[in-house]
């Protein structure tokens, strides 16, 4: 069955370090998204991609970057981790076109000390 | 941008009871999706329902886009229904905006 996999599931790191969260989908979806989930804020969009070599900023993109070199993967990088980036991160994918149903990974819980 | 409200913010039910969760949005939207986040944090698709009514077992949903709301019905609730329910809405050419969620606790 097609799926979307995030790794690692849990990570603890220190402020100032570079961190990369992986997202891999086997749905063959064009669209991929990264969200963060914080208490009191629900899910907020960080970055998204509508296809290979396409990346776009979302609502809360500062301090994050993504790259899309193939259809299956959209890694999320925190260039210099800050304590404010402690959160649960979700990756999602959907078929081409806007507002298609999104399928989510199981999330990565990131703690920055 | 679009504002999304969900009500009630919290709901406690006895097992077997029925409930209605509401999602209001500030602008006409073309798409709407309901999710359940279980106690383990997983986000599960429930319905993709830009308009009309859909049913899946004990759950059903109705969206009236012209009146800017959607309803999620849970009948004969079970403890496994506990968690947070999110609606997400979208306009053509724009990404989904998520509501703050309704936290449901079903007691045995």
Helix (H) or strand (E) holding B2: none
Interface of B with A (CB under 8 A): 30-31, 33, 35, 41-43, 45, 48, 50, 86, 88, 90-96, 98-101
What's phi and psi for B79, nearest 5 deg?
-60, -30
Cross-strand pairs, A99 = none
Segment B55-71 mean pLDDT: 96
Alpha-carbon distance A110 to A80, whole Å?
14
**Contact between chains at B95 and A101 (C-beta distance less than 8 A):** no
User: Per-10-residue mean pLDDT for chain A, 113 residues long?
Assistant: 92 97 96 91 90 94 97 97 97 83 93 96
- The string of DSSP codes covering B37-52 is E-TT--EEEEEE-SSE
Q: Which residues of B touch A88 (CB under 8 A)?
A: 41
- The count of C-alpha atoms lying within 13 angstroms of the C-alpha of A104, restricted to the half-sphere facing its C-beta, is 24
Give the per-residue pLDDT at B35: 95
Strand ranges inside A39-83, DSSP E: 42-51, 54-57, 64-66, 76-78
Residue A85, classed as helix, strand or coil, is helix
> Residue A41's closest chain B neighbor by CA?
B100
The answer to whether residues A86 and A110 touch, using CB atoms and an 8 Å cutoff, is: yes
pLDDT in tens, B19-61: 999 999 998 888 899 999 998 899 999 999 989 999 999 999 9
Give the per-residue pLDDT at A98: 67
């Amino acid at each position: 069955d097609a799926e979307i996999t995030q790794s690692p599931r849990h990570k603890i790191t220190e402020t100032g370090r570079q961190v990369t969260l992986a997202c891999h989908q086997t749905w063959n979806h064009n669209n991929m998204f990264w969200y963060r989930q914080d208490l009191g804020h629900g899910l907020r969009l960080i970055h998204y991609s509508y296809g290979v070599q396409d990346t776009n900023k979302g609502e809360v993109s500062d301090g994050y970057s993504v790259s899309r070199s193939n259809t299956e993967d959209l890694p999320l990088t925190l260039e210099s981790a800050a304590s404010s980036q402690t959160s649960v991160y979700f990756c999602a994918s959907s078929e081409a076109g806007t507002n298609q149903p999104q399928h989510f990974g199981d999330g990565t819980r990131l703690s920055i000390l | 941008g679009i504002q999304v409200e969900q009500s009630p913010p919290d709901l406690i039910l006895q097992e077997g009871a029925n409930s209605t969760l509401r999602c209001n949005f500030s602008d006409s939207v073309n798409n709407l999706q309901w999710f359940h986040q279980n106690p383990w944090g997983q986000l599960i698709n429930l319905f993709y329902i830009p308009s009309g009514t859909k049913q899946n077992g004990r759950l059903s949903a109705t969206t009236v886009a012209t009146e800017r709301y959607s309803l999620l019905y849970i009948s004969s609730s079970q403890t496994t229904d506990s968690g947070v329910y999110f609606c997400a809405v979208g306009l053509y050419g724009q990404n989904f905006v998520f509501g703050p969620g309704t936290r449901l606790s079903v007691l045995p």
